[in-house]
Structure 1
Amino acid sequence: MAVFTPVTLDDLNQWITQFPLGKAVAIKGIASGIENSNFFITTESGEYVLTVFEVLTFAQLPFYLQLMRHLAERDVLVPAPVANRDGEILHTLHGKPAAIVSKLAGSHQMAPQPLHCGAVGAMLARMHLAAQDFPLHQPNLRGLDWWRTTTPIVLPYLSPHNRDLLLAEMTFQQAFAGTDAARRLPHGPIHADLFRNNVMFDGEQLTGFFDFYFAGCDSWLFDLAVTVNDWCIDLDSGRLDVARVRGLLDAYHAVRPFSADERAAWQPMLRGAALRFWLSRLYDFHLPREAEMLTPHDPTHFERILRDRIAHPAPDLF
């Protein structure tokens, strides 16, 4: 993520003595994303990821960290939070919340084929099922309530053409959210941000999902729509690649079959997932925060995706 809070090797070595990791020998800021300060760290015992949280609070963070621990204990491929010698996984660094998690092997798969999409779909279904008995609850903080709050903030920055699109889609999504079918959708903890750069592969082998700091409780179908809108598209046009869509959906369905309500909600949910990221990118682009390394994402990418989902229905679930 962008580095908002600098951490030097000396800072790290003074702080890391509470962990059974040995001395820190290297630290490197990760210059992608916009929410937290993330660093690769190398210690005498191995490689890890340090996160200093810039937005999430001490009260909110147990949900995310305990969810990762819960999933890792159930053999879902996610980073495991590292406890200090007192058994704590949430800490303070430079006056801010901080955590260390295990580093996943491999690299991002930025040109996915149906095989990669299938691996993501199967693991996502496993994740949803494994989290069913997770005892903590937190809403999706970038869900419909946040859309309602953020829409009037970004509207003054938009062209008339885009203002019309945003207002019309908000009307559509609010009406859909009020339907019985939407209220009956299976739900639980979701990742909510499962883009290509939040998944690791070693060759064709999926090695894990990471960056759970947008997770919350919402419909599983929303999580699936977010994932399809990134993994299964042509990045230039936003158009869906049917072979990749089928690969991801078929693999997911083989682990957790879709309900009739999910089949009915699929098209609105793909539009809602596109709207969520268009809104967040509009906000970050027009109201940026200062950071040592900050690269706001282009909001027009998800504008194109939203317009395409409205104009061209996606392949059905089943």
Structure 2
Amino acid sequence: MIVTITMNPSIDISYPLETFQLDTVNRLSNVSKTAGGKGLNVTRVLKQLGHEVTASGLLGGYIGEGIKAELAAAGIDQRFAPIAGNTRNCIAILHEGNQTEILESGPVISAEEAEGFLQQLDDLIKQADVLTISGSLPQGLPKDFYVEIIKRCNQANKPAVLDCSGEALKQVLENPYKPYLIKPNREELSDLIGQPMENQASIKAALATELFAGIEWVVVSLGAHGAIAKHHDTFYQVTIPKISVVNPVGSGDSTIAGFAAAIAEKATDEELLKKGNTLGMLNAQEQTTGAVNLANYQKLSQQIQLTKF
């Protein structure tokens, strides 16, 4: 079983408008509302792959109940810890080729609620083959909360796949408890190192620093240019084919789903890198976030090139 952790989920609301008029009424009929959060995108893709998956994290209020209902309707097993606050909304206004986002920070989590989640997590870790941890931390949780989660995974000898950025990621890298795989993009890696990542050589040098010691897999996403990956002391350049992109949102989450599935399947390096990157591309070809058309999987996977360097 794969357990996905989303500490700060949301209902993602999309308002498509031909034109956005400021300081007046904007009316529309085509509204999209979906259970959101990076970890829930991972969950949906794993479900489509046929993996046994359980969604976990924090949910509260009527919005939380709506997310539970949507996941239940999709046949997704869920073990969220309850909170008193109302789970957040995140709004995207699509207008004139632009996307304006209004993101709520979400509820403030109490120490008791955090402890309740960790106690529930201990039971899930025992059942899990792999755990994924995705997205931002809600207010109230300490900046090193992911360190505590990874510590518990390490102690149970269960691999954790981490997809976060900023201070939460720095806290993990500076602590002795290590995730099995992380997936920063080029910009996030630059922020961590404090200098631009301009080419293959600079990325390789960055990944070879002590900051990433003890992490089995580091995969640096390069968008349309593929990825550079480090597994132990072996480096890979991942070159992906050019595709027609419909909606890139959630492609990174789909990639994480592929990596988690490959780890659970005890896949080879080639299989892991191809599965993750293929699913990322498949998501980008769909309008719906966290959706893939597996009929196109083999065709795309065969076009991915891996080169050791």
Structures share fold, TM-score greater than 0.5 = no
TM-score normalised by L of structure 1: 0.30
Q: Which has the higher strand share?
A: 2
The answer to which structure, 1 or 2, has the higher relative contact order (CA under 8 A, 6+ apart) is 1
TM-score normalised by L of structure 2: 0.30
Q: Which has the higher helix share?
A: 1
